[in-house]
Structure 1
């Protein structure tokens, strides 16, 4: 459970909490925030709910999930927010050398995310539901692609994380807990899937792109992302943030309460200019698999019994079209839903609706209690 994974060595006094820690992968520390499930709302019969791993969007951090995670934890579901390279409490690698820049690569971050999901599964005793929003959805989709490629080749996902440096630990690196040596609960219900190298029980993509449609589209996306990187370097985070918030994609967020908009802006301003630029250059949509390959990946996971869902807000015209395309191309294998009265960021604009949808997904992935 979250308290076992992330505790400081003493007793956890509150039933529901959010605490930031770190996860090490091949020399890079990724920030993690966890919310403990409320014991008073544990599932009837003692069955463990599938935990949830949440991945934020560009220029955000783990706190963007606070409302949703609190709602879920109060309902007995543990949540772990994974922070991408250069965001939140994740380490700021030296960006002038190759190893430092590698941390921002889409594939590297996807590998780290898979390692984290596996670590959560080993400690929590249930495979997590993987949820990615926007850029986080891009990383989650790349992770799914790595899994699908591995399954297609008939192999098992490399477990290098559990054989080497991966661990949960406080951000000051004190009192590290080695996940590989942690005591595990009964994972019988998940044994088949874990042996099949899929370290998550379901995949939920929120307002995420599916990749370039063709080579021309990839080139255009690359040109756009590198232009954005140049803009943030040239203008600085403050001016860039104001421009970014003014994009039509985020128009619906202008209706949020003033205090919520101010917190959102403060979170964006907390980022580093160069690290945001590297995120555009090395993990932008141009670095994704093609749209056709992404759809194939999602269909293959669904065929393996891994539920796949795609969510878009009804006010987000661009990603409603993505959902429509995915629904048609997957022939219904992927569950595509449109959230009412929400734009690009559903979990921010309609947190109760989003939490309700995730509860349904968790329920579908949680074994029913065995009758006495």
Structure 2
């Protein structure tokens, strides 16, 4: 059972700008960072907007959202950075040793924890949050949305029959089973393997990477990781941004990173076609889905193009100019503007006097 009060003595409504807390779920402690407008900014805006839950990528922490979250907080939004297993402030278990409970790193376990956290945010805010996931965090956010759609009863495999049933997914506002998520935004996120051969290739790659980080250590592995073509555009970031990015990557332990590859990699996702069907059904039933990719990221622009074609307009797909794989880091203002637009579309109209 999820702990419905964030640690440190207060509920979600009592958070302050930039404070780090934690969220307990079935023995796992997840780190949470919170940004909100100052009291004067909140009074100036005078409205209650939909909260935003942000999920970072591999080897990152919630602080990767700082620039975007502060822009959104200045506009009156409350943002929550949810840290994945073994990342940031979260401990893997009571003893903090990831090897004690490798199941905490399972994609489905983390998705269930994220969904439970979204429900706490929704309860305390009085409105469901917009859920945003980047890269690996996008996989977890996607899985959480599918679990919500499956009425939390489908187990580890997506129940496609339930997804097609109006009893399992009803328009938001009429079925409280989907009140945990107001909208889903996926940033540079994979959608799953296209077939068994692709799944096996991804599994072999991820296990090889896990062996590499265990064998070489975090520093050497991250030197290699940062040099991947996927992150080429990040070499154009300001020196202080590149330094913070590296410091964040080095703040991880090898076993946690290895388990993330093995137990939450793309090879454990449902098939791509099943994922796209689920996303389309979410959109059709009142949960808007947005997919974002940077124009300099050829790999995920191709994912976006395939999703746009196969969803036949059911999913909003946007390419962000002058950005690579990490859109929110490379173009925080453009990314924030898109989030503001989604939040505004999800914000309930004020009650009539």
2:313 matches 1:363? no
Q: Deviations over 1:194-253 (max 9, x none)?
A: x13341000000000000000000000000000000010111000000100000000000
TM-fit CA distance, 1:143: 1.1
Aligned-CA RMSD value: 2.4
Matches within 5 A, 1:188-199: 192-193=174-175, 195-199=176-180
1:277 aligned onto 2:278? no
The structure-2 alpha-carbon separation of the partners of 1:106 and 1:8, relative to structure 1 and needing over 3 Å to count, comes to closer
Q: Which residue of 2 aligns with 1:33?
A: 33
Q: Which residue of 2 aligns with 1:21?
A: 21
Describe how 1:244-323 pairs up with structure 2 within 5 A. Answer: 244-323=225-304
Q: Which moved more, 1:145-154 or 1:70-79?
A: 145-154
Give the equivalent residue in structure 2 for 1:176: none
Q: What is the CA–CA distance in structure 1 between the aligned matches of 2:333 and 2:130, rounded to whole Å?
A: 18
Q: Residue 196 of structure 1 aligns to a residue in which SS?
A: helix
Closer, same or farther: CA 209–190 of 1 in aligned 2, 3 Å: closer
In structure 2, what is the equivalent of residue 351 of structure 1? 332
Correspondence for 1:58: 58
Count of aligned pairs: 332
- CA deviation map 1:64-107 (0-9, x unaligned): 0001001101100000000000000011333334xx11100000
Instruction: Tell me what 1:222 maps to.
Output: 203
**Pair 79,45 (structure 1): closer, same or farther in 2 beyond 3 Å:** closer
Q: Aligned in 2, Cα 1:245/1:320: closer, same or farther, shift over 3 Å?
A: same
Unpaired runs of at least 5, structure 2: 152-161
Q: Please say if 1:48 is aligned against 2:38.
A: no
Matched-pair contact (CA < 8 Å) for 1:22–1:30:
yes
Partner of 1:162: none
- Partner residue of 1:234 out of 190, 215, 222: 215
What is the rounded CA distance, in whole Å, between the counterparts of 1:196 and 1:239 in structure 2?
A: 45
For residues 21 and 269 of structure 1, the distance between their equivalents in structure 2, rounded to whole angstroms, comes to 21
Q: What is the correspondence of 1:122-161 to structure 2 with a 5 Å cutoff?
A: 122-150=123-151, 152=163
Give the C-alpha shift of residue 259 in structure 1.
Answer: 1.2
Q: Which residue of 1 aligns with 2:108?
A: 107
Shift in CA distance, 125/103, structure 1 to aligned 2, threshold 3 Å: same
| 1:127-159 CA-partner distances (Å, limit 9, x unpaired) | 0000000000010111122223335367779xx
Asked if the contact 1:144/1:297 (under 8 Å) is kept, the reply is no
- C-alpha separation in 1, matches of 2:120 and 2:296: 36
- Counterpart of 2:156 in structure 1 is none
Q: Could you say if the C-alpha distance between residues 43 and 140 of structure 1 is closer, same or farther in structure 2, counting changes exceeding 3 Å?
A: farther
> Could you say what secondary structure the match of 2:144 adopts?
helix
Aligned equivalents of 1:62, 1:283: Cα separation in 2: 18
Q: Is residue 149–residue 168 contact of structure 2 (8 Å, CA) maintained in 1?
A: no
What SS does the aligned partner of 1:103 have?
A: helix
Equivalent position SS for 2:117: helix
Given the superposition, is the C-alpha separation of residues 40 and 369 from structure 1 closer, same or farther in structure 2, using an over 3 Å criterion? Answer: farther
- Aligned 1:62-81 pairs, distance under 5 A: 62-81=62-81
Q: 1:26 to 1:7 in 2, by over 3 A?
A: closer
- Provide the TM-score with structure 1 as the length reference: 0.84
- Matched with 2:98 is 95
CA 1:9–1:143: 2 relative to 1, 3 Å: closer
In structure 2, distance between residues paired with 1:190 and 1:211: 26
CA distance in 2, matches of 1:316, 1:71: 24
Residues in 1 aligned to 2:213 and 2:335: alpha-carbon distance in whole angstroms: 31
Quote the Cα distance in structure 1 between the aligned partners of 2:329 and 2:339: 14
Map of 1:85 onto structure 2: 85
* Structure 1 equivalent of residue 154 of structure 2: none
Relative contact order higher in (CA < 8 Å, ≥ 6 apart): 1
Distance 1:198 1:6 in 2: 19
